[in-house]
Structure 1
């Protein structure tokens, strides 16, 4: 990549031109409504937003060009959008590797229940650093473990995202069913119903920014049907709608959850969540593996979104989500890493590839998903379920300049003719440049805002401390 400063040669007007970054001579996958692509094109960024996208070189006579990048051998796409994650799990990777979901939760909750603010900060920095280095420009964290006396966990996560420079949604989670009430987590790791609602509302008031270019937003996110009371679910839905924020939870993840809902509520997870106000265009749910035709139709009819997490679903033997059927019905679908205790890779490129490969193991076989559909899931699809598709998720004039320039001329990709297939099916492509709101966060594979080695060391120390704390309990 040649990066050349370009002087402003246009006539002086007495005003300072808006700073522009010009990327040209690269393949362009816009992921717009028409899936427009250019074999050799350009993107011009003016300030925080995209000014132009098209074939051939950038328009002549641009003022205020501060960087002109020769993207030969590269593909530019929208930045990846992660629509489901649990950052705190970064410091408990590689444990309970042969468990299904319920057994895995039972094995790990006693450890997770001993996290504190410093540990969560270290884990969030590690999770965000891994994702950002791999092309994620918008991330989310579903944090739902708030042990008593553990400090400001939401603030730690939000602060880490600001430090990394990544656009971010905190899904402020909650649980009010401990072991004494038939739930899975220890009692001291759950909140009361009123306490959870009050803390969630305070988090929204303190941190949610409704602006189109917001760097931080907050969603209301009770954890799951088997760790949250019906009253908390209903009250959380009312709270979110009163505050004008989105709703997130886990849904239909495993056959065990399906059985639990039928035994406890006399209905499946989708019908149960619908009965508590949890379907709608302001809702997205993680996993949604065990959905029947009626469930999919309900999601499509109400505009309820799905965060598809193929690697975690496979790791926990949850099953294959019916993503082709969801897309055909019109269900909004994005991609999620999920917690790194069930997806140790911790980056979203893996999900592009696995979404395509895993779904081809299902009944639709080779017609299940294409490489371009996988890329759409990881960009526009994620932006849609987070409620941000009007401003990010595709490369279009006027949208936020959240984009990634991927290098595809190395040994790993140089013989794959189709650049989108190279990105989705090939090895993880190096990130030459990642912009969030026009600001660089990664260059030449290097994080610009944090020291990667220091982040790794801090997370390692936090993991060891948490393991000792759990062993001593």
Structure 2
């Protein structure tokens, strides 16, 4: 296979944090990064390679969306400006009960992946139903995906009870074993929708099958109050007693964590998926990101679903996360630009157990790479490319995306997905749901 050599204006490997290389090139050999070296050396050493000039671009690792419900892109804007439980109980869950199917999930996930790829996201940690449809969409799009297999106590159109959801999760994992871009996790929805018995089963299976756990935790104050009423303790303490807390757990949201709970998360090595836009839109609150990171908790970034964000825009949420962290902690130095960029890349990879494979531009890692064109008037003048990416760049400036060395976006055009076909399917589902 012909080598590909990328020549950006700025090369931002993320590891080590804050490093910016100029007049450097990155060499892609098949699905991996072969080398980072000065551009002139690359031209001399690889004269037969395909050389791509990115004269106004920053090259950086693909963004890792640590918490999403991809198929819910088809529910974007269906029920806005509502409280979480009203939104779920009276709008989202009834709509899902009527319409969610294998076809719905496949179409919605592809739609979401097109949006995410165009915005520089190369890996998504998903959570939804019809796991085989999510996996097929990932293979079609060429996007790295962890399929979170939702587990609930109550029936939906996909499962009857917790045991049914679990059996479907294991079957889907077996069906796609060996697919290089697709992994699976067990995703008990939340402490208020999952029993002690089910959590215990999930912990046992996760250990036996070496699967991660993905769960909404401490998203709202009502969730915490309900746990105290029903179980006599706050959700995190209940999960600790059940053995759920550990380095295999990605806890989504964690908006309401006190000092003792932050120390607990750090002690058990739990990873947090911060969802700033969704937290704001549903008025869930302001997660204590600076305090979590200061305690040593690994915090990644997620968009949540398009029904509660309403954009799957990691660059937009990256800026939001950095600004909120400063305001919430009353500290303008909190979550500086380089640390924020790491949160959206290497920290997400670390949370998924993939830090040896993705999340930074290092020789030997998978070639999950994006290029952002910083020539736009809104990105100039430019003094610090990392700061400009975090605080000024928009997702429309993402020009190129590679996953495992395969070009999925070139000069802003998708290579594996057809936007016209995706829009036609979105209009089909809109008509059905509106009716």
Aligning the two structures, in what range does the TM-score lie when normalised by the shorter sequence? over 0.9
Cα contact 1:207–1:218 (8 A) shared by 2: no
- Give the equivalent residue in structure 2 for 1:140: 125
Using the TM superposition, give the Cα deviation of residue 363 of structure 1 relative to its aligned residue in structure 2, in angstroms: 2.2
Aligned mates of 2:163, 2:56 — CA distance in 1: 55
Choose from 163, 171, 180 the match for 2:148. 171
Judged with a 3 Å threshold, the aligned counterparts in structure 2 of structure 1 residues 263 and 208 are, in CA distance, closer, same or farther, namely farther
Using the TM superposition, give the Cα deviation of residue 103 of structure 1 relative to its aligned residue in structure 2, in angstroms: 1.5
CA distances 1:176-227 after superposition (whole Å, capped 9, x unpaired): 136xxxxxxxx66653122122112212222244x9xx31000011111111
- Give the equivalent residue in structure 1 for 2:74: 91
Cα contact 1:93–1:341 (8 A) shared by 2: yes
What is the DSSP-based 3-state SS (H/G/I as helix, E as strand, rest coil) of the residue aligned with 2:327? coil
Within the alignment, does 1:109 sit opposite 2:93 as a pair? yes
- Give the equivalent residue in structure 2 for 1:204: 173
What is the DSSP-based 3-state SS (H/G/I as helix, E as strand, rest coil) of the residue aligned with 1:401? coil
Cα contact 2:5–2:42 (8 A) shared by 1: no
What TM-score do the two structures reach when normalised by structure 1?
0.88
Using the TM superposition, give the Cα deviation of residue 362 of structure 1 relative to its aligned residue in structure 2, in angstroms: 0.7
Cα contact 2:74–2:108 (8 A) shared by 1: yes
Using the TM superposition, give the Cα deviation of residue 423 of structure 1 relative to its aligned residue in structure 2, in angstroms: 1.3
Cα contact 2:73–2:111 (8 A) shared by 1: yes
Cα contact 2:102–2:133 (8 A) shared by 1: yes
Using the TM superposition, give the Cα deviation of residue 379 of structure 1 relative to its aligned residue in structure 2, in angstroms: 0.5
Aligned mates of 2:147, 2:37 — CA distance in 1: 34
Using the TM superposition, give the Cα deviation of residue 55 of structure 1 relative to its aligned residue in structure 2, in angstroms: 4.4
Aligned mates of 1:156, 1:197 — CA distance in 2: 16
What is the DSSP-based 3-state SS (H/G/I as helix, E as strand, rest coil) of the residue aligned with 1:353? helix
Aligned mates of 1:118, 1:176 — CA distance in 2: 24
Within the alignment, does 1:45 sit opposite 2:28 as a pair? yes
Aligned mates of 1:260, 1:137 — CA distance in 2: 37
Judged with a 3 Å threshold, the aligned counterparts in structure 2 of structure 1 residues 189 and 198 are, in CA distance, closer, same or farther, namely closer
Judged with a 3 Å threshold, the aligned counterparts in structure 2 of structure 1 residues 66 and 56 are, in CA distance, closer, same or farther, namely closer
Aligned mates of 2:345, 2:89 — CA distance in 1: 33
Choose from 290, 295, 304 the match for 2:270. 304
Judged with a 3 Å threshold, the aligned counterparts in structure 2 of structure 1 residues 168 and 112 are, in CA distance, closer, same or farther, namely same
Judged with a 3 Å threshold, the aligned counterparts in structure 2 of structure 1 residues 24 and 455 are, in CA distance, closer, same or farther, namely same
Q: Point out the structure with the larger helix share.
A: 2
Aligned mates of 2:418, 2:260 — CA distance in 1: 49
Structure with greater Cα Rg: 1
What is the DSSP-based 3-state SS (H/G/I as helix, E as strand, rest coil) of the residue aligned with 1:298? helix
Q: CA RMSD in A?
A: 1.7
Using the TM superposition, give the Cα deviation of residue 25 of structure 1 relative to its aligned residue in structure 2, in angstroms: 4.3
Structure 1 moving runs of 4+ over 6 Å? none
State the aligned residue count: 432
CA distances 1:390-442 after superposition (whole Å, capped 9, x unpaired): 11000011111100011101222132322112211114152222111111000
Cα contact 2:8–2:58 (8 A) shared by 1: no
- Give the equivalent residue in structure 2 for 1:450: 417
Mapping of residues 69-88 of structure 1, within 5 Å? 69-88=52-71
Using the TM superposition, give the Cα deviation of residue 63 of structure 1 relative to its aligned residue in structure 2, in angstroms: 4.2
Aligned mates of 1:311, 1:355 — CA distance in 2: 8
Using the TM superposition, give the Cα deviation of residue 449 of structure 1 relative to its aligned residue in structure 2, in angstroms: 0.6
Which shifted more, 287-296 or 97-106? 97-106
Choose from 451, 461, 467 the match for 2:428. 461
Aligned mates of 1:32, 1:225 — CA distance in 2: 35
Cα contact 2:131–2:169 (8 A) shared by 1: no
Judged with a 3 Å threshold, the aligned counterparts in structure 2 of structure 1 residues 25 and 219 are, in CA distance, closer, same or farther, namely closer
